[in-house]
Amino acid sequence: MNVRQRPSIRDIADAAGVSPATVSLALNNVRGARIADATRLKVEKIAAELGYAPNGLAQALRTNRSHTLAIISEEIATAPYAGRLIRGAQEAASKHGWIMLIMSTGGAKEVEEREIEAVWRHQVDGVIYADTAHRIIDIPEALEGKPVFLANAEATHGDFWSVYPDEIQGGYVATRELIDAGHEEIGFVSTAMDIPARAGRLQGYRTALEEFGIRFDPRLVIEEASSFAEDGYRGAHSLLSRKKRPTAIFCFNDRMAMGAYRAAGEMGLLIPKDLSVVGFDNQEIIAEALSPQLTTVALPYYEMGAMAVEAVIAELQNGNTSKNPGAIPNALIKRESVGLLQ
């Protein structure tokens, strides 16, 4: 593990027979002060030969800009799909030559303080505050003084920019898919948890029904305590036991859809022939493993990560130019669990 010293701007200057300042100007293409083409070329050539790369720390110290963003999250990458958000953020940052730090707090205030302390020490330029499930959260005030951008979350107070899934549109597009297949008796197996997704998806469901003149029947909406496969099983079982059995079910998430599959199986119902199902989350590991594969709605994790980073970088570079993205749409992923009503 030999540590060979990297060449500095001065090494290039010596080799080229010019001053360090000239090297800096040449390499950075500073407008205003022009450098003779011959000099520039020579400098560039020598820099390449020496394998020169600027020392980002020195640059950052001097310019007071570290080109570094931090993504802070309570439970980083704990939710399987949350990795996509990080990935979107990281790739967007990398595209601009920026760096992403990651810090997870595990929910402990003390750890969070330590992480925010690190944000300051390392002169991070901006912060993406992300949540694994779309929630409304408090922003620690210790972060004041840095651009903070929320991803997959909304703030309780303060005017923070944020990007999160459009739950209403998500509920709409899922329901719409079922309506387009001819279904009118559409159940909604949901959760009673107090999160934006619950109200939003329900509203989207109702809007879609309304738009097509289908009467909303509250008895077709089941809200279970939680949102596990077991809850989906119970909800679906109860819906499918009605004398007028729904021909389609929209499930709050893929886990619940997995439970619905089991309920249907036990009752001898074939998907999608006897029952159509749409899930939510596009957890590929479930959606693709189910048989038939599950049609579902994909949350825009990658996009949220990327948009958050793009917005912060734009803000940092040009000032307040861009627009607060807010709610962004979800995509329907069509697979095999929706059938035309016979």
- Chain residues binding DNA by CB under 7 A are 5, 8-10, 17-22, 24-25, 27-28, 30, 33-36, 38-40, 52-55, 58-59, 61-64
How far, in Å, are 68, 161, 219, 294, 297 from residue 342 at the CA level? 56, 47, 24, 20, 24
> Residue with structure tokens 């500073």?
30
Answer with the entry of DNA, a copy of itself, none that 66 interacts with (C-beta below 5 to 8 A by kind): a copy of itself
- CA 41 to CA 272: how far, in whole Å? 67
How many other C-beta atoms are found inside a 10 Å radius of the C-beta of residue 339? 21
* Spatial CB neighbours of 296, under 8 Å, sequence gap ≥ 6: 174, 254, 257, 278, 279, 280, 281, 282, 283, 287, 332, 333, 335
**Token representation of residue 319:** 């000032």
Answer with the entry of DNA, a copy of itself, none that 182 interacts with (C-beta below 5 to 8 A by kind): none
Of 39-47, 146-154, 162-170, 269-277: span binding a copy of itself (CB under 8 A): 146-154
For the chain, state the CA radius of gyration.
26
* Minimum CB distance to DNA smaller for 1 or for 38: 38
Q: Is the peptide bond before 196 cis (omega within 30 degrees of 0)?
A: no
* Minimum CB distance to a copy of itself smaller for 208 or for 309: 309
Q: Which of 9, 16, 76, 208 binds a copy of itself (CB under 8 A)?
A: 76
Secondary element (H or E) of residue 153: strand 148-155
**Token representation of residue 88:** 């979107």
* Minimum CB distance to a copy of itself smaller for 44 or for 315: 315
Q: Which of 56, 113, 180, 212 binds a copy of itself (CB under 8 A)?
A: 56
Q: Which of 139, 250, 255, 296 binds a copy of itself (CB under 8 A)?
A: 255
Structure-derived torsion over alpha carbons of residues 297, 337, 277, 225, reported in degrees to the nearest 10: -70
Answer with the entry of a copy of itself, DNA, none that 34 interacts with (C-beta below 5 to 8 A by kind): DNA
Answer with the entry of DNA, a copy of itself, none that 276 interacts with (C-beta below 5 to 8 A by kind): none
Binding residues (CB under 8 A) for a copy of itself: these are 1-4, 6, 53-58, 60-61, 66, 68, 76-84, 86-87, 90-91, 94, 97, 99-104, 106, 111, 114-115, 117-118, 120-123, 144-148, 228-230, 233, 255, 258-259, 262, 265, 283, 285-286, 288-291, 315
